[in-house]
Amino acid sequence: MKINEIGEQALIKEIAALTASTADREGVGIGDDAALTRVADGTFVATSKDMLVEGVHFLLPGITAQDLGFKALAVNLSDLAAMGAKPRHAFVALALPAGTECEFVLDFFRGMMELAKSYGIAISGGDLVASPGPLVVSVTVQGEVRREQALLRRGARPGELVCTTGSLGASAAGLALLLQDIPCSDKVRAAALQAHFRPRPRVREGLWLAAGGVVTTAIDISDGLLKDIREIMEINGCGALLYEENIPVHPAARAVAAAAGRSPLDFALHGGEDYELLFTVPENAFDNLARAYTEQFGRPLYTLGRLTGENRLQMVTKSGKWEELVFAGYRHF
Ligand SMILES: [Mg+2]
């Protein structure tokens, strides 16, 4: 059986089963945004690892070394944010073609440090090796979280609201601008490219949501809203019903979609790399949470819909039609 026949998720499940006999029973292992391992009473280390491959996740010279360094750390911090963990350390391994300029590598770390400084994260080690092919960036991040506060993917029930920490689709709009010649204003272009090259992980928001104690599950939107929501559905044995009029499409995604003759909703549902948090919360806790969130961060929380007891993902369109939603975004295999 080949990977592209069974898919990434199925292979990860097989690996989890193969390695289950030595799994950490106190913590959380394969299958969430980060692993949790106990270091002292009540404190757990959250560890996450994400890899970026030239030609798959980024193109050179399409992205600058600084942006690549910033983004490589951002996508990893987003996983810690989805656990409600406080980031502490990053370890950075690079596989580099032998002719790579030293200044490229230093610029990569300059970009990474811009983000590291804003959260007080130490770049604590790593590895440099030669690559006969593409440039590969592998980052591991570690953070701290109390076990009882950690936001996991498991724990939601039908009826709970499905929410996000921000609007969606701007990163996909940025990617569309890189791949196609789409006329749009400088302001829209800057916003979309910023979202694509320099996503802001919701670290403070994740910590805040975890401390509040009412959020039941969380995941970061890395692959695309529909794929990430399916992950929550599958783990919790739920379905979901979304309302099109509630989907928070980023203004830059609307503008780029209009200029390109594409659907803004597609950017928001399938685009991916938004790095907002997707989370579930009981309906009776939402109003207080949303009010406090806006006081804290000056931005709203969005309710996209709710979890259902049926094993299907549906959307009520603006015209009142019910549609089945199928993820049509990027898959690795
Ligand atoms: Mg994630």
Centroid of ligand 1 to alpha carbon of 21 (angstroms):
24
- Count CA atoms closer than 13 A to 279's CA, side-chain side: 37
Whose CA is closest to 308, among 328, 324, 294? 324
pLDDT(188) > 80: yes
pLDDT(330) > 80: no
Centroid of ligand 1 to alpha carbon of 228 (angstroms):
8
Centroid of ligand 1 to alpha carbon of 80 (angstroms):
8
Centroid of ligand 1 to alpha carbon of 55 (angstroms):
21
Contact 168, 278 (CB under 8 A): no
Centroid of ligand 1 to alpha carbon of 75 (angstroms):
8
Centroid of ligand 1 to alpha carbon of 82 (angstroms):
7
In sequence order, which residues have a C-beta less than 8 Å from that of residue 143 and are 6 or more positions away?
34, 45, 46, 80, 83, 85, 86, 87, 88
Centroid of ligand 1 to alpha carbon of 133 (angstroms):
27
Q: How many residues does the chain have?
A: 333
What is the rounded distance in angstroms from the CA atom of residue 104 to the CA atom of residue 86?
Answer: 29
pLDDT score at 25: 87
Contact 304, 245 (CB under 8 A): no
| pTM across the whole model | 0.94
Centroid of ligand 1 to alpha carbon of 139 (angstroms):
14
Angle at 190 between CA 136 and CA 86, to 5 degrees: 55
Centroid of ligand 1 to alpha carbon of 114 (angstroms):
22
What is the rounded distance in angstroms from the CA atom of residue 83 to the CA atom of residue 47?
Answer: 10
Centroid of ligand 1 to alpha carbon of 36 (angstroms):
14
Tokens for 245? 């009029």
Centroid of ligand 1 to alpha carbon of 127 (angstroms):
23
pLDDT score at 42: 78
Centroid of ligand 1 to alpha carbon of 183 (angstroms):
33
Whose CA is closest to 232, among 24, 33, 27, 10? 33
Centroid of ligand 1 to alpha carbon of 34 (angstroms):
8
What is the rounded distance in angstroms from the CA atom of residue 251 to the CA atom of residue 234?
Answer: 31
What is the rounded distance in angstroms from the CA atom of residue 271 to the CA atom of residue 266?
Answer: 7
- Name the one residue in this structure whose structure tokens are 């909703």: 265
> Cis before residue 61, ω within 30 degrees of 0?
yes
C-alpha R_g of the chain:
20
Sign of CA dihedral 1, 95, 196, 217: positive
Centroid of ligand 1 to alpha carbon of 319 (angstroms):
33
Q: Which residues pair with 127 in a beta bridge?
A: 93
Centroid of ligand 1 to alpha carbon of 78 (angstroms):
7
Centroid of ligand 1 to alpha carbon of 88 (angstroms):
18
pLDDT(40) > 90: no
Centroid of ligand 1 to alpha carbon of 314 (angstroms):
23
- Mean pLDDT over 92-107 rounds to 96
Centroid of ligand 1 to alpha carbon of 79 (angstroms):
5
Centroid of ligand 1 to alpha carbon of 181 (angstroms):
31
pLDDT score at 331: 76
What is the rounded distance in angstroms from the CA atom of residue 169 to the CA atom of residue 249?
Answer: 6
pLDDT in tens, 196-217: 999 999 999 999 999 999 999 9
What is the rounded distance in angstroms from the CA atom of residue 140 to the CA atom of residue 270?
Answer: 26
Sign of CA dihedral 109, 122, 124, 278: negative
Centroid of ligand 1 to alpha carbon of 220 (angstroms):
5
Q: Please give the domain boundaries of the chain with CATH numbers for all domains.
A: 32-146 (3.30.1330.10), 161-324 (3.90.650.10)
- Helix residue spans in 7-101 (DSSP H): 8-18, 65-83
Centroid of ligand 1 to alpha carbon of 162 (angstroms):
16
pLDDT in tens, 213-272: 999 999 999 999 999 999 999 999 999 999 999 999 999 999 999 999 999 999 999 999
